[in-house]
Amino acid sequence: MVLNRRKSKQTLKHFVDKIQVLAVVCNQWGDTGKGKFVDFFSGWADIIARGTGGANAGHTINVGGKEYIFNLIPSGILYDQYGKINVLGNGMVLHMPRLIEELEKLNELEISYSNLRISSNAHVTMPYHILLELVSEKAKGKKAIGTTLRAIGPTYADKIRRTGVRVNDLLNPAKLEEKVKENYAFTEAVLKGVFGLRKKDIAQLMKDERLGSGRYVYKGKVNISEIVAHYSFMGNEIKHLITDTKELIERKLSKGKKLLLEGAQGLLLGIDHGTFPYVTSSDPSINGLCSGVGISALSVDLCLGLVKAPYMTRVGGGPFPTELEDEALAEKIRKKGREYGATTGRPRRIGWTDLVALKYAVGINGPNLVLTKMDICDGFEELKICKKYIYSNEEKSIINGKEFSKGKTTTSFISDGEMLSKFKPVYETAKGWEGPINEFEAYNDLPKELRNYIRAIEKFTGGKVRAISVGPGREETIIRD
């Protein structure tokens, strides 16, 4: 095949020519390849802010040819040396030992983080949160959510209960002690009452390396004073980075500075709109992200929603209607797409891109789409497209006020995880394209089968595909004029 290498007029810069606030979010279950875009736009922005989630996210930073995985520090940290501000916003939950470890790694790699700022209102993951998550995930058995075991849920639970420890509390030992005592008493009552643990079982579990390797155990009991002392110490280590980040961002925006909002996880994993209860505990939508950094959603000039196509992935438990039954095909895609979790290393589940779910996501994150990993399915003869679900359970269910019995179809997304698992996808077949598509540079030169596939996505979802990513390199992005 003779490839046409006509130059596209546009690069990613085209998106940010005349704007001040850009958001990059994921429209699926996470892992849609945000890294490359966040990295590119970090070069444009003055401030790079995260607002949701915590150490459950993972991204790779490449320094001197070596790859390092970071969970909390935004990808924009490599731009700190140019005076760019990286923010961990109020909506985040911070795993303190992991944060300190990442800062130490940055020191070791001689990467500056002097402009990193941490919201005083972000919540702090405490050792008893991790303990609770380990115990409750285990107790769920087959119904386990398959969390990253970074205690995202228990930390947000204390936030919602209005008792959680905030970053600022770390700098006020008396307040910290009071809160830790109160929260620990509550957690211990749950561990005993719900999970049947005894004090000595709890102390034993606390010896896990994820819980300080026995650091918080003294004479067979959990040692609250040590938790308080250690967390105060860690608070002091980051004291110079803690500030009112909402006010900081507001001030910078009023001076015309440019802001990049870095989403984490994905819309379908969101506590409000995701496949509940198989979700994380933050709202990774554009709305949650704005709230998590303390700005109005109205100030976002452009929100790019990332979508993996023609295949998508999920890590952990929960329904995935279009998941491939053909394990050989799934493995082929997994290998070629390097689909293994950055935080946990788990192999990702593979399925066809679900347009019912995407239409739902477009309704929340808006119409601007970037399709990623498209090159992975180069050379596939045919692709499956899901525009409908069919209820496949013998027993009837009421969903969103409507009765579903076997055979009934819907084109609406079902955000109740248990209910969604009762549906199967109804597929249409689309023709695949020959590759390699990363040799093309202009959208209109791409194979017509690929453009037809994109047209089908747009027609069904109401979204507008603004760019497609055809490889890991920045330049391997085709912008649609």
Q: How far apart are CA 249 and CA 322, in angstroms?
A: 40
Question: Do 165 and 180 touch, CB atoms closer than 8 A?
Answer: yes
Closer CB to ligand IMP, 10 or 313, in the complex: 313
Of 129, 150, 466, 480, which lies in the binding site for ligand IMP, with binding defined by CB under 6 A? 150
Smallest separation (angstroms) from ligand IMP to the CB of 34 = 9
CB of 51 to ligand IMP, least distance (A): 14
Which one of 85-93, 147-155, 304-312, 326-334 is the stretch in contact with ligand IMP (CB under 6 A)?
147-155
Site string for ligand IMP, 117-146 (x = CB under 6 A): ----------------------------xx
Quick one: CA dihedral 279, 280, 284, 289, positive or negative? positive
Q: What residue spans of 239-389 are helical by DSSP H? A: 245-254, 286-293, 327-336, 355-365
Q: Rank residues 29 and 391 by Cβ distance to ligand IMP and give the closer one.
A: 29
| Cβ atoms of residues 59 and 89 within 8 Å | no
Largest CA distance in the chain: 74
Tell the smallest beta-carbon distance from residue 388 to ligand IMP (Å). 25
- Please identify every residue annotated as catalytic: 31, 59
Q: Do β-strands 116-119 and 477-479 pair in parallel, antiparallel, or remain unpaired?
A: unpaired
Residue reference for tokens 């995985």 = 69
Distances 105 to 86, 246, 270 between C-alpha atoms, Å: 16, 27, 30
Nearer to ligand IMP, 57 or 135 (CB): 57
The least CB distance from residue 72 to ligand IMP, in Å, is 12
Choice between 31 and 375, CB closer to ligand IMP: 31
The reply on whether position 91 binds ligand IMP by CB under 6 A is no
Identify the residue among 94, 315, 386, 468 touching ligand IMP (CB under 6 A): 315
If the CB atoms of residues 217 and 264 are measured against ligand IMP, the closer one turns out to be 264
Task: Find the part of the chain contacting ligand IMP (CB under 6 A) among 78-86, 108-116, 148-156, 425-433.
Answer: 148-156
Q: How many residues bind ligand IMP (CB under 6 A)?
A: 20
Instruction: Give the nearest distance from C-beta 244 to ligand IMP in angstroms.
Output: 26
- b/e burial code for range 383-399 (CB count within 10 A of at least 16 → b): bbbbbbbbbeeeeebeb
Tokens of 150: 């970074």
Q: Which of 42, 86, 148, 223 binds ligand IMP (CB under 6 A)?
A: 148
| DSSP helix/strand/coil, 361 | helix
Name residues whose C-beta falls within 8 Å of residue 265's C-beta, 6 or more positions apart in sequence.
26, 29, 30, 52, 53, 56, 57, 280, 282, 284
Position among 147, 322, 372, 461 found at the interface with ligand IMP (CB under 6 A)? 147
Choice between 30 and 463, CB closer to ligand IMP? 30
Please select the residue that binds ligand IMP; options are 73, 126, 131, 152, rule is CB under 6 A. 152
The closest of 306, 318, 309 to 269, measured between CA atoms, is: 318
Instruction: Report the site for ligand IMP in 238-297 (rule: CB under 6 A).
Output: 265, 269, 280-281
296 strand-pairing partners? none
Closest residue to bound ligand IMP by CB: 316
CB of 282 to ligand IMP, least distance (A): 8
C-beta closer to ligand IMP: residue 77 or 152: 152
Question: 53: which DSSP letter?
Answer: B
Number of alpha carbons in the 13 Å side-chain half-sphere of residue 240:
5
* Position among 270, 316, 432, 471 found at the interface with ligand IMP (CB under 6 A): 316
- Give the CA distances from residue 180 to residues 10, 144, 338, 346, in Å, rounded to whole numbers and listed in that order: 53, 27, 41, 33
Least distance to ligand IMP, CB of residue 343, Å: 6
Number of H helices, E strands in the chain: 13, 23
Name which of 77 and 268 has its Cβ closer to ligand IMP: 268
Residues 23-82 that bind ligand IMP (CB under 6 A): 29-31, 56-57
Q: How many CA atoms, within 13 angstroms, populate the side-chain half-sphere of residue 70?
A: 22
- Write down the least CB distance from residue 54 to ligand IMP, Å: 8
Q: Would you tell me which residues interact with ligand IMP (CB under 6 A)? A: 29-31, 56-57, 145-148, 150, 152-153, 265, 269, 280-281, 315-318
